[in-house]
Amino acid sequence: MTDTITRFAPSPTGHLHIGGARTALFCAAYAHGRSGRFALRIEDTDQKRSSEAAAAGILDDLAWLGICWDDGPEANGCGGDDRKVGPYYQSQRREIYDRYFTKLIEMGLAYPAFDTPEELAEMRKAAEAQKKTFIYRQQADYDHAQAMELAKTEGHVLRFKMPAEPVVVNDEILGEVTFPYEELDDLVIRKRDGFPTYHFAVVVDDETMGVTHVVRGQEHLNNTPRHVALIKALGFDVPKFAHLPLIFNPDGSKMSKRDKDKAVRAAVKAAGDVTASDAGVDERDFAKWQKDKSVQLPQDKLVPLAAKLGVELPEIDVEDFRRSGYLPEAIVNYIALLGWNPGERDDEGNEIERFDRAYLDSKFAFDRVGKKASKFDRDKLRAFNFDLIKSMDPGDFVEAWRTWCERYDAALLETLDKDAMLQLAPAVQQRAVTLGEARGPIAFLFTETDTIEYDEKAVKKHVLKGEPAGLDVLRDFAPKLAAIEPFAPEVIEETISSHCQTNELNMGKLAQPIRVAMTGAAVSPPLGITLSSLGKDTVVARVDRFLKFMDA
Ligand code: GLU
């Protein structure tokens, strides 16, 4: 029996899209659940749009998600070439493609074509005038020998002579799909620059890498008959195909990288006075981007422009979710449910939705993958993330939090050391849905003392009401604060509690006014850690300011 071999084949033209991550996850799960192998190949035949940095970013995002590949570029502890089927960058496989170009030409199934872009545009226009889709075919009077001679000196592409028969694709998810010959043109398989097109490279690579299952998004379904025709012409084995459902936004539109541009474009329009130089791009590019919905600004221009305009960019790429502070385990668990579910119930009869990778590997098969697009439910992902954060051991949480800060919030690490974060962790874990929101419950640490605003309700309830009033209790205790030494959580708590005991007060009588003075409101992590992380000078200054405010 052939081992199961799947592959994920991203084009390194940008960040890894969340849908790409789901494809990779399903590829890995399908192979690993069958003791097979999962390969990763970088499809960089489009030299203009590809970059090494984008490839590295994709590999990093995959590894971060814990979606490790067995065969492929060695990076982040994943990959390798045990089966000796590399290299895994298409740009390094040109000799392999050349062999198969020669083979197809010799069989009379590929031919050079010399049409200029202008001529092709003319043909397209003529077809459109007749309300037909333009389908390129070899001219009836095409002279092969003459063309081969001309090809030695003239620029040309190589086209595949599409066999005149329908192509049937047997999809593991969608069933049998038939594509009539009339819809399949003689596609370009080698570009003018000598590089193979995606269609050709993918077919040769899947065969030479031993791929048994091609798992990819439904957006590729229309490419598949072209691939099948090529596979058959080359005498390769037809792999199994499984096309995964698309991922939609809640409003039913396709979840696309362009959504980010859309959000910023709308804000630019609303503002009315944003210039190309505000955006950091040249006039023409900016005008084009404003007019044409299919044009995208580079991320390094779009992100700062969004920030300038106060636009919150929709999360689309893995990097976006990573920056927001989702945990990889929560993302992986959530995206596994996009178009698939295990169809099992727990002991209480509830559908099983929370699971780990081992469970996914053991359950994943195509029979439970849907045909229709699935909607991306941000609230559900948030719930997964929050539950995971809450359930984490504080040590593990701080580990994840610090790693996140190293990438996205180095300033926080300058204010808080590991011990302080550990002390704050339980309070943060109860309230932060994502690591990006972890600053929320401890925002008081980062506000300037003289900008604190005191919540009226909290003041009324905890400071003014009662006998004695919180204000008097605080005023009475204030001098003791400065004397606490060392200014450490236990010593602070002990001082507060003994003051309350001596004065026959319950703890809240003193604790709550202190909280209001420190944070403006009556909620904060445990007082000892709240005060020690602010530091004695700040605590004294905040109490002073609050007492003055109350006296005024
Ligand atoms: N390189 C293609 C893409 O990034 C994937 C092709 C495939 O999976 O066959 O969309």
Per residue in 87-137, pLDDT (tens digit) is: 999 999 999 999 999 999 999 999 999 999 999 999 999 999 999 999 999
Per-residue pLDDT for 69 more than 80?
A: yes
Alpha-carbon distance of 415 to 361, in angstroms, equals: 42
Give bridge partners of residue 179 from the DSSP assignment. Answer: 167
Query: Residue 2's pLDDT is what?
Result: 60
**CA 198 to ligand 1: nearest atom:** 1
Q: Are 14 and 257 in contact (CB under 8 A)?
A: yes
Q: Cβ neighbours of residue 470 under 8 Å, at least 6 residues apart?
A: 462, 463, 464, 509, 510, 512, 513, 516
**CA 227 to ligand 1: nearest atom:** 9
Closest C-alpha among 323, 163, 156, 176 to residue 233: 163
Strand bridging mode 240-244 / 175-179: unpaired
Whether ligand 1 lies within 6 angstroms of the CB of 10 is answered as: yes
Entry pTM: 0.92
Query: Residue 146's pLDDT is what?
Result: 96
Dist. CA 242 → ligand 1 center (Å): 13
Percent of the chain topping pLDDT 90: 96
Under CATH, domain 93-244 is a member of which superfamily?
A: HUPs (3.40.50.620)
Q: How confident is the model at residue 254 (pLDDT cuts 50, 70, 90)?
A: confident
User: What are the phi and psi torsion angles at 157 (to 5°)?
Assistant: -110, 165
Going by CA atoms, what residue is nearest to atom 7 of ligand 1?
9
Dist. CA 328 → ligand 1 center (Å): 23
Mean pLDDT of 497-503: 97
Dist. CA 29 → ligand 1 center (Å): 18
Dist. CA 304 → ligand 1 center (Å): 30
Per-residue pLDDT for 1 more than 60?
A: no
Whether ligand 1 lies within 6 angstroms of the CB of 220 is answered as: yes
Query: pLDDT tens, 469-495?
Result: 999 999 999 999 999 999 999 999 999
Say which residue the tokens 């025709």 belong to. Answer: 229
Whether ligand 1 lies within 6 angstroms of the CB of 409 is answered as: no
Per-residue pLDDT for 534 more than 70?
A: yes
Amino acid at position 350, single letter: N
Closest C-alpha among 352, 351, 356, 350 to residue 330: 356
Strand bridging mode 175-179 / 167-171: antiparallel
Query: Residue 216's pLDDT is what?
Result: 98
**Would the CATH topology of 93-244 be identical to that of 449-551?**
no
Length of the chain counted residue by residue:
552
Q: Are 526 and 511 in contact (CB under 8 A)?
A: no
Dist. CA 9 → ligand 1 center (Å): 5
Best residue for ligand 1 mutational test, from 6, 202, 205 (most atoms within 8 Å of Cβ): 202
Domain spans of the chain? 93-244, 258-315, 449-551
Q: Are 478 and 541 in contact (CB under 8 A)?
A: no
> Chain-wide mean pLDDT for the chain?
96
Mean pLDDT of 393-412: 97
Query: Residue 257's pLDDT is what?
Result: 84
- Max CA separation in the chain (angstroms): 107
Q: Are 161 and 110 in contact (CB under 8 A)?
A: yes
Say which residue the tokens 């929320």 belong to. Answer: 440
Q: Are 349 and 422 in contact (CB under 8 A)?
A: no
Whether ligand 1 lies within 6 angstroms of the CB of 211 is answered as: no
Per-residue pLDDT for 279 more than 90?
A: yes
Dist. CA 339 → ligand 1 center (Å): 19
Whether ligand 1 lies within 6 angstroms of the CB of 202 is answered as: yes
Per-residue DSSP letter, 113: E
CB neighbour class for 470 (10 Å; exposed up to 12, middle 13-18, buried from 19): buried
Mean pLDDT of 410-418: 94
Give bridge partners of residue 188 from the DSSP assignment. Answer: 159
Dist. CA 321 → ligand 1 center (Å): 22
Which CATH code of 1.20.120.1630, 1.10.10.350, 3.50.50.60, 2.40.50.140 fits the domain covering 449-551? Answer: 1.10.10.350
Amino acid at position 249, single letter: N
Dist. CA 333 → ligand 1 center (Å): 23
